[in-house]
Structure 1
Amino acid sequence: MLLTVNLRVFSMRTEMPLVHQNMGYCPQFDAIDDLLTGREHLQFYARLRGVPEAEVSMVAEWGIQKLGLVKHSEKSAGTFSGGNKRKLSTAMALIGCAPLIFLVR
């Protein structure tokens, strides 16, 4: 069975890079680096998503505030509880305000 999906005006058959730029993804298993802090993860993802450098810190702070990670933002992600790792993964998926976000549970 072949499934064709159009995201906005981008075809998944011919314009996958544009599709990727317009979607966020939160995998079932947390894709985090145990050595990076929560803030460093969000700054890294902001840069990957093309957030202008002048706004990277502000965008990371937004994720920290909105997902309730203030107390943990400067700790290495390897020390996070399972719930806080999920919050961090969700914040990473939300970075860049993609019009489509896949949250896999």
Structure 2
Amino acid sequence: MESFEYIEPREFLEKVDGKRLGDALIIDVREPMEWDYYHLEEAKLIPMNTIPARLPELPQDKPLYIVCAHGLRSANVCYYLRQHGYEQVINVEGGMAAVAMLRGFQYD
């Protein structure tokens, strides 16, 4: 299987809050119901099951930070993207649960 990078949630939030993501995109692969509950304003919602049909929306020349609820779906999406020629994919470990906890928001 193709490997990909991981980022700890604290480091990820430091980059987001410090506007240090550059031209990278944050792709949230959760379902709309989960997104409505809590999400990052900087993220773009593309539910996991729609990724194959929406590949043309994802640039191959920019880093893609992939986030889900707990880091499992996002890991699967990272594997899928690597298999389809995306080299700069980064899985946000712990997902939105970890991000929300660091921000003091209860998310489960």
- Common fold, TM-score beyond 0.5? no
- More strand per residue: 1 or 2? 2
Q: TM-score range by the shorter chain?
A: under 0.3
TM-score, normalising length from structure 1?
0.25
- More helix per residue: 1 or 2? 1
Greater Cα radius of gyration, structure 1 or 2 = 1
TM-score, normalising length from structure 2?
0.25
